[in-house]
């Protein structure tokens, strides 16, 4: 069946190509174009050959400029045959472009990818050979064509992630990138209550478009008009458009999924280009209360604002303290939490009561944490003690003796009121009896003089449970002798009483 379909498709391609060549050679074969257009229908096996054929036809027509100056909306009664033919070609071109947009929106992925490629090739050639006369002092780009393509890519009904990846190839051209950013503010403003799918498509598009940067070297253009002014890339204007778009995105109603995606795009792509990043403070602090990966991404945003924009937010350590819950060990971004927390608590000027609360909470979490996370937490606690020598009292509390109840209040949300400084790190002492030797050994740091240099958490953060298992297996085990004499074939060892009664050959 597949061979039959494949052979039929090849035969159709040859037939379509022959019709296209006949059409381009003589106007007597004008009906060939109508026949080809009529074949674009629901069958994707026919759609792709038709797209390639129409691409060949109209790219040649654009080069010949046979549609130049034709008005596609009105025909004068006394118009010449040449004018009527040009107008007819223009109408067919508009019809073809619209049909390709329908394929881009509704057909299977392979046909959609081909339609997008053809559409952008037509945009490129139309930019080089405009359909209407333009001012020589202006750089011409068919913006409305690009606008139509963007509206399909930003669908409200289906995820267009695959098409976004294909469209990214064209955004490497500086003129495409510039006009996409120019169009996006008006597109965004026309959607007051977008769907979740639309928001995801918009964020994917922003993630794929290169952001405005100055000094990128020579410009690479999709449309290079034969006559006209050279293209001028206005980076400052692009930044203004980016800020307008992002201002609208922030005020849309987001689901947890789109909220998470928005923070990823914000931190990895957009934050460095915002004019007033400190305006995000309240939004990021509210995001810290949502829990899960959203909180971790918001924490990273807060750290960037503190580090690069001198943000001073007094409640940040309370928010950070509340994020250390057992559920954190089951998220993908737990390594990011440990890394950022280590940076937040790196200052030696923090109150010892505050740092003690973090050390104690981390120690308590080791009782329920996976093995690879226990190693990270132990090193984290060790670093905190190195930065604040006064925390050594948590190892050997000055009051001495035994206590019937730990004074530390795990349920207290305010770290300064948790009484952690009055407690001890008995949890670390208990880990010295852990079943895994690596953890038991790591927990013994409280019984030895502390090192002079802090532990590097970045290396162990990349460790997985399989890595720990491999490390334990590779340890040299004590060899135990199992036999004293080397066996020879089926013979029994010397001195075996069975040899007196049986002879094994």
Kindly give the confidence (pLDDT) of every residue in the chain, 505 residues in length, as a single tens digit, with 9 standing for 90 and above.
333 345 456 777 888 888 889 888 888 888 888 888 888 765 667 888 888 999 999 999 998 888 876 664 555 555 688 888 888 899 999 999 999 999 998 888 888 999 999 999 999 999 888 888 766 667 888 999 999 999 999 999 999 998 998 999 999 899 999 999 999 999 998 888 899 999 999 999 999 998 877 766 678 888 876 665 678 888 999 999 999 999 999 989 999 999 999 999 999 999 989 999 989 988 998 888 887 788 888 888 988 888 888 887 777 888 888 888 888 888 777 888 888 888 888 888 888 999 999 999 999 999 988 888 888 888 889 889 888 888 888 886 655 445 567 889 998 889 999 999 888 888 888 888 888 888 888 888 888 777 777 766 665 555 555 555 565 556 555 555 555 566 665 666 666 666 666 665 5
DSSP three-state, residue 404: coil
Do residues 171 and 238 touch, judged by C-beta distance below 8 A?
Answer: no
Q: The dihedral of CA 13, 16, 20, 21: what is its sign?
A: positive
Q: Which range of residues forms the domain containing residue 315?
A: 293-344
> Residue 331 domain-assigned?
yes
Residues 369 and 439 in one domain: yes
Do residues 29 and 66 touch, judged by C-beta distance below 8 A?
Answer: no
pLDDT of amino acid 67 = 83
> Residue 498 domain-assigned?
no
- Distance between CA atoms of 355 and 420, rounded to whole angstroms? 9
pLDDT of amino acid 364 = 92
Residues 128 and 201 in one domain: no
Residues 237 and 357 in one domain: no
Residue at a domain's end among 325, 344, 363: 344
> Residue 362 domain-assigned?
yes
What the block records as the tokens of 197 is 């799918």
How many helices (DSSP H) and strands (DSSP E) are in the chain? 21, 0
pLDDT of amino acid 205 = 94
pLDDT of amino acid 1 = 37
- Distance between CA atoms of 487 and 485, rounded to whole angstroms? 6
Residues 15 and 117 in one domain: yes
Query: Largest alpha-carbon pair distance within the chain?
Result: 126
- Distance between CA atoms of 351 and 339, rounded to whole angstroms? 20
Write phi, then psi, for 225 (nearest 5 degrees). Answer: -60, 145
Residues 428 and 479 in one domain: yes
Residues 216 and 324 in one domain: no
- Distance between CA atoms of 165 and 67, rounded to whole angstroms? 32
CB atoms near residue 45 (< 10 Å): 12
Residues 328 and 377 in one domain: no
> Residue 8 domain-assigned?
yes
Nearest of 9, 28, 27, 6 to residue 17 by alpha carbon: 9
- Distance between CA atoms of 374 and 438, rounded to whole angstroms? 10
- Distance between CA atoms of 293 and 287, rounded to whole angstroms? 10
Residues 43 and 165 in one domain: no
> Residue 500 domain-assigned?
no
């Amino acid at each position: 069946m597949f061979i039959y379909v494949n052979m039929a498709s090849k035969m159709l391609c040859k037939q379509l190509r022959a019709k296209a060549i006949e059409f381009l050679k003589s106007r007597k074969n004008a009906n060939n174009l109508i026949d080809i257009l009529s074949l674009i229908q629901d069958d994707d096996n026919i759609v792709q050959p038709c797209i390639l054929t129409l691409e060949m036809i109209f790219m040649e027509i654009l080069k010949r400029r046979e549609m130049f100056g034709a008005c596609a909306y009105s025909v004068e009664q006394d118009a010449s045959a040449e004018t009527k033919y040009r107008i007819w070609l223009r109408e067919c071109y508009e019809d073809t472009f619209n049909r390709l947009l329908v394929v881009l929106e509704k057909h299977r992925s392979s046909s959609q990818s081909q339609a997008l490629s053809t559409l952008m090739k037509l945009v490129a050639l139309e930019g080089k050979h405009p359909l209407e006369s333009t001012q020589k002092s202006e750089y011409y780009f068919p913006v409305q064509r690009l606008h139509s393509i963007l509206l399909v890519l930003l669908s409200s009904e289906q995820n267009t992630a695959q098409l976004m990846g294909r469209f990214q190839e064209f955004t490497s051209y500086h003129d495409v990138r510039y006009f996409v950013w120019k169009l996006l503010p008006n597109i965004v403003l026309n959607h007051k209550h977008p769907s979740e799918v639309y928001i995801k498509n918009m964020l994917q598009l922003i993630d794929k478009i290169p952001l405005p940067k100055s000094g990128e070297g020579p410009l690479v253009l999709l449309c290079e008009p034969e006559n006209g002014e050279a293209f001028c890339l206005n980076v400052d204007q692009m930044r203004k458009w980016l800020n307008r778009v992002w201002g609208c995105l922030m005020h849309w109603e987001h689901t947890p999924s789109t909220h998470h995606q928005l923070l990823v795009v914000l931190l990895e792509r957009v934050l460095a280009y915002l004019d007033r990043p400190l305006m995000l403070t309240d939004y990021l602090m509210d995001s810290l209360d949502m829990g899960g990966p959203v909180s971790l991404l918001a924490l990273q945003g807060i750290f960037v604002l503190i580090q690069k924009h001198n943000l001073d937010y007094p409640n940040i350590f309370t928010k950070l303290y509340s994020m250390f819950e057992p559920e954190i060990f089951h998220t993908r971004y737990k390594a990011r939490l440990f890394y950022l927390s280590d940076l937040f608590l790196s200052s030696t000027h923090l109150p010892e009561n505050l740092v003690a609360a973090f050390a104690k909470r981390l120690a308590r979490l080791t009782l329920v944490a996976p093995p690879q996370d226990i190693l990270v937490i132990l090193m984290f606690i060790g670093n905190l003690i190195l930065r604040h020598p006064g925390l050594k009292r948590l190892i050997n509390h000055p009051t001495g003796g035994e206590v019937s109840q730990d004074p530390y209040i795990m349920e207290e949300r305010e770290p300064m009121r948790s009484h952690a400084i009055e407690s001890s790190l008995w949890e670390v002492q208990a880990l010295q009896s852990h079943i895994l030797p690596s953890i038991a050994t790591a927990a013994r740091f409280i019984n030895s003089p502390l090192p002079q240099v802090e532990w590097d958490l970045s290396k162990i953060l990349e460790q997985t449970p399989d890595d720990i298992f491999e490390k334990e297996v590779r340890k040299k085990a004590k060899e135990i002798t199992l036999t004293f004499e080397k066996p020879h074939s089926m013979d029994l060892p010397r001195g075996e009483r069975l040899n007196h009664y049986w002879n094994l050959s």
